[in-house]
Each structure stands twice: as structure tokens, then as C-alpha cells.
Structure 1
Amino acid sequence: MPGDSEDPNAEVQYHLEVGPEDVADSVLLPGNPERVEKIAGCWDDGEERAHHREYRTVTGSHEGTPISVTSTGIGSPSAAIAVEELARVGVDTLIRVGSCGSIREEASVGDLVITTGAVRQEGTSEEYVREDYPASADYEVVSALVAAAERLGYDYHTGITMSADSFYPGQGRPGFEGFSAAGSDDLVSDLREANVTNIEMEASAILTLASIYGLRAGAVCSVYANRETGEFRTEGELRAAETASLAVTLLARMDEVKREAGVDRWHAGLSV
């Protein structure tokens, strides 16, 4: 690489502007930089470590567990950059904390959806691996998110998420002046028939890259829109933040129990 070129493998990352000392092992990934401060408000403490473009990073602790949050901007391309650069500085656990549209009547506005796997309708992950490679959430992260939602008493659903590159036609909505993309009229009904729960724009890329790199990853989103009932409200953001933060603390406890038991993976015979 020419000497005057930016090096994406430098210790301080080019886009995020963080180094290994700036982030905890576990990082929450909201899209909106404005959510970072709200998420950190759930913690014991937090300090901003970097803010460059759409990427804002705060590191602190939650119930004594080190934790970080980095915003990714909208969509899978910028989320993949965050995963790449966080992996390079030593992060091993990633949890998307976002909003979504539900396509099931029972997943109401304000509820949480915890992703178990994702339909890869975004194009970013296809630049990494063949299209039939699964976008699977790590089962330890899913378990921790479910346990956190249960302890907090929040209504939640688990299921398959579809991640799109487009907010409008790519999610079955009309474009400018009513433009309709090929197949968009049947998109939501087809996904519903396949038992997909919700639609958003980043989860499948995050899960795919995490699997490729041997990292733990998951996603929890608050339902802003219910495509069955027509409801739309920006509700549940704090619930998703609190659930993901507590999940990081529970994962740290799970890891400690695993070490004491001398096992590599969490299983039903262990308890926190």
C-alpha cells in the first residue's frame, strides 16, 4: 500500500477513530448517533471516546460490566464498516439496538423483537460470502436478550428479521409519486407467509459478518410501525436500550459461569 494512503488496518480506525483502549469487549450498535447518549443514559457511567461522521462511540459500565455503544448510521454498508473496525480493535460481542417495522399483528408498536436469524435482502453481506450463507444470531446473545426482556418485564417477540437496503420500495412501500418496484406489492405478504416477524436495514449484515469473523452478535429492535394495523409511533426506544444493556451484563455473568465450569459454550445445565 502506498505510504501516503490511509491504512484501514491501523490501530486507530479510519472511520470510527477508536483504538483498542477506547471500547469494551461488548458493543451496542444503534443506527442513529442521537441514540448513543440515550443508551448510555441507562448505564452507571459513560464517556464519549470518538465522534466521526455517523460513528459516535461512548464507553462506560452497566451494573459494573464494561460496555460500549457505537452508532452505525442507516443501512448495512455503514454498519459493516463499524463491525469491521470494531473487530480490528478486539471487540467480540455486538448487539444491534434499533427500530423496525412489524409485519405481524401481535408484534405491537412499542414491543421488542429479538432476532434469531435474518433474511439477507441487503447487498452488503453478498460482497463477503455466497448468498445462501445464513445470517444467524448467536444463541448466547439471543438467550441473554430474552432473559433481559423477561427481567425487565417488557413485551417481546423472537423471530426472523428481514434486512433491506431501501426504506421505501425495498420494504414494500411506494416510492416517489407512487413508484412501485417489481415484486414490492407482494413483498410483505410473502414474508409474512414465511413467518418473518419484522423488517429493518442492518441486522443481517451484522450477523453475517459476525459469523464469518467468529464473533457473537444479535439484535433487538423496538417496533415503531405495525404494517398489519397501520400504526406508527416512535415508542419503545428506551426499552430496547435497557434490554440490550442488561443483556451485556448477563453475557458477562454467563461467561464467568462458563469459565468456572470449564466449558466453552453456554448450555441449559448452567445458571446465572
Structure 2
Amino acid sequence: MSLGSSELILNPDGSIYHLNLLPEDIADIVITVGDPDRVSQVSKYFDSIELKKKKREFVTHTGSISGKRITVISTGIGTDNIDIVLNELDALANIDFTSRTIKEKKRQLSFIRIGTSGSIQPNIPIDSFVLSSSGVGFDGLLYFYDSGQARNSELELKLNDYLGWSTQNIRAYAADFDEKLAEQFASNRIRYGITITNSGFYGPQGRNLRLATAIPNFNERLAAFSHQNYQITNLEMETSAIYGLAKLHGHRAISLNAILANRATGEFSKNGKKAIDQLIQFALEKIVSIDLN
């Protein structure tokens, strides 16, 4: 069945609507970053860059390092942007734009998020790295999809029962990392934990400037929860959507987080750019040796 022009929206040059990319523009390994300026911070380590494109907040560079073809793309902030980026990247991989039909043979992408985050555990130091074992979303994105098969229902039930925040119209969903991809990033530099993905930066992460928050002890409640030996370690704004949409599409995904703030101790990194650069170099070193066969 052919997809209508209002569903699969293409630009006059045949590129996908928001990302402005053609199917041949993307590699099988895709690094996602939030900040458009961070794309060049990643691609400066490539041996060669074959493509640079930009539209709105979506900046894309595709190149190679040590013979490994990699795409790095900025998503902007939030799961609403992740919904655009993940769906359009999958379309580039698995929809024939000429016939507007889904390809019979599917292409699997590997997504590696390189992002920044705030810890809610006092024992996770500033400038350390966390790999998200699960992403828990407070934004509701996955509820718009037939997503039950991609979600960790055991974690959802346990966390929602523990929090009891249904009276605040908050019901979390959860999706897990790809274990095989995560194995490729194993290191004594990496800590593992459950990542909370929030729908905002201030109230939704328990920050109180001039507006009072509805839930007292927001971060403390989250920090006290554990599931299968994993604590909730950090807060950010994209991971749950990346994990959920990647699983629904049959792709792999992990989320790497540079911890720039510790909410429990009130600390903030004095050299966040260095920490992010170290995480980028760590990720690229691991990507070069990736073997997913």
C-alpha cells in the first residue's frame, strides 16, 4: 500500500521533510546529540566527511573513521523532536521513496546517544559517564503508538505503583537498552542505571525558580527506587523515546550520558566541555571496534 503525501512528506528534491536527508545520506551507525553545535564536535574526529546538511535544529554530518561509516545528527531537545528524528531516519532506511512503500528487506540502524545529564545519586560524581539500562518516560510519547511489545511492563508497574503519581496525571512508560550494543561499550569508566526522561527542564525535573512544583521531594523519591539491582541514576529529556522508538522499528539503541550536574549534592561541572569531549572520544573508540554480527 502506497503511503500518502500527507503521511510520508518529502521535499521537492526527494529528501525527508524535517531532516532534509536522502536515503543514501545516512550510515548504519547513527550518533544522536541534542545540541546542533555538538555535531561538529563529533565529526572533527572523523578521517573524512562526505556530507554536511542542515535544516532547522537538525544538523547532519556523515563521514568515516578507521573505515567505519558514521552519521552524527542533532535532535534538539525533547522527545517530541526524537519522534521526528527516529521516525524519519527509519523512513530513510526502510521506505522506498519512489513507490512510497515499505521495503520488504529491513535495514537495522544502531543509535548511540551522546548527551548530557544530571545525576540524582550523591555517589555518581560530576563528569562521570552513565549508560542507561532503561529509559523511563514521563512525557507520554509511547502511549501514542501500539508499543506494548517494546516496553518493560514489569519496570513500569513497579515504578508507577511505588510513585503513586497518577493523581498528578503522571504515568511512566519504560523501554530498555539494546544489550548486544551495550556490550560493545563495556568499560570501567561506565556506570549503569535507569534514566528518567522528563517533559521539561524545570518543574518536570523538580527545579523550583519562581513557580512551586506540584510534587515535593521529586528527585528524592526517584533516587530511592531500585529495580533488578539498578537505581534511577539520572535525569534528561530524550532517552526513553530513543529506546522505545528504536525497539518498535527493530533498531538498536544505547544512551551515553556525561553527568554535568549532581542534583543531590548541588554541584555543577566546572569543565563540562571537557567531559563531553572525553565522552565523544570514548564513544568513537568503541564504535570503531563495534561487531554486531
Superposed displacement of residue 83, structure 1: 0.6
CA contact (8 A) 1:122 1:205 kept: no
- Aligned length, in residue pairs: 245
Does residue 115 of the first structure (1) align with residue 144 of the second (2)?
no
Q: Does 1:181 align with 2:197?
A: no
Pair 1:70-2:110 in alignment: no
Q: Is the 8 A contact 1:115 1:219 kept in 2?
A: yes
Give the alignment's TM-score, normalised by structure 2: 0.77
- Relative to the length of structure 1, the TM-score reads 0.83
Partner of 2:123: 106
**Is the Cα contact below 8 Å between 2:198 and 2:204 reproduced in 1?**
yes
Q: Which residue number in structure 2 is paired with residue 270 of structure 1?
A: none
Are 1:229 and 2:265 matched, yes or no? yes
Distance 2:7 2:83 in 1: 18
The verdict on how the C-alpha distance between 1:4 and 1:156 changes in structure 2, with shifts beyond 3 A counting, is: closer
Gapped regions of structure 2 (runs ≥ 5):
94-107, 154-172, 226-230
Superposed CA RMSD in Å reads: 2.2
Letter in 2 for 1:189: E
Comparing 200-209 and 187-196, the one that deviates more: 187-196
Q: Give the counterpart of 1:41 among 38, 44, 56.
A: 44
Question: 1:100 aligns to what SS in structure 2?
Answer: strand
Instruction: Find 1:142's aligned residue among 182, 186, 198.
Output: 182
1:1-272 aligned at under 5 Å gives the runs 7-8=8-9, 12-90=15-93, 92-128=109-145, 129=147, 132=153, 134-147=174-187, 150=188, 155-175=189-209, 177=210, 179-183=211-215, 185-194=216-225, 195-233=231-269, 234-235=272-273, 236-251=275-290, 254-255=291-292, 258=293
Say which is worse superposed, 89-98 or 241-250, in terms of deviation. 241-250
Contact 2:133 2:194 in 1 (8 A): yes
Q: Could you report, residue by residue, the CA deviation over 1:113-172 in whole angstroms, capped at 9, with x for unpaired residues? A: 11111111122222223584641100122111224xx5xxxx331111000011001001
Q: How much has 1:231 moved relative to structure 2? A: 1.0
Opposite residue 109 of structure 1, the aligned amino acid is I
Specify the SS of the correspondent of 2:81.
helix
CA distance in 1, matches of 2:222, 2:245: 23
Unmatched runs of 5 consecutive residues or more in structure 1: 259-272
Residue identity over aligned pairs, in percent, reads 32
Bigger drift between 186-195 and 10-19 goes to 10-19
Aligned-partner Cα distance in 2 for 1:221–1:113: 5
CA-CA distance at 1:47 after TM superposition: 3.9
Structure 1 residues 9, 140: CA separation in 2 closer, same or farther (over 3 Å shift)? farther
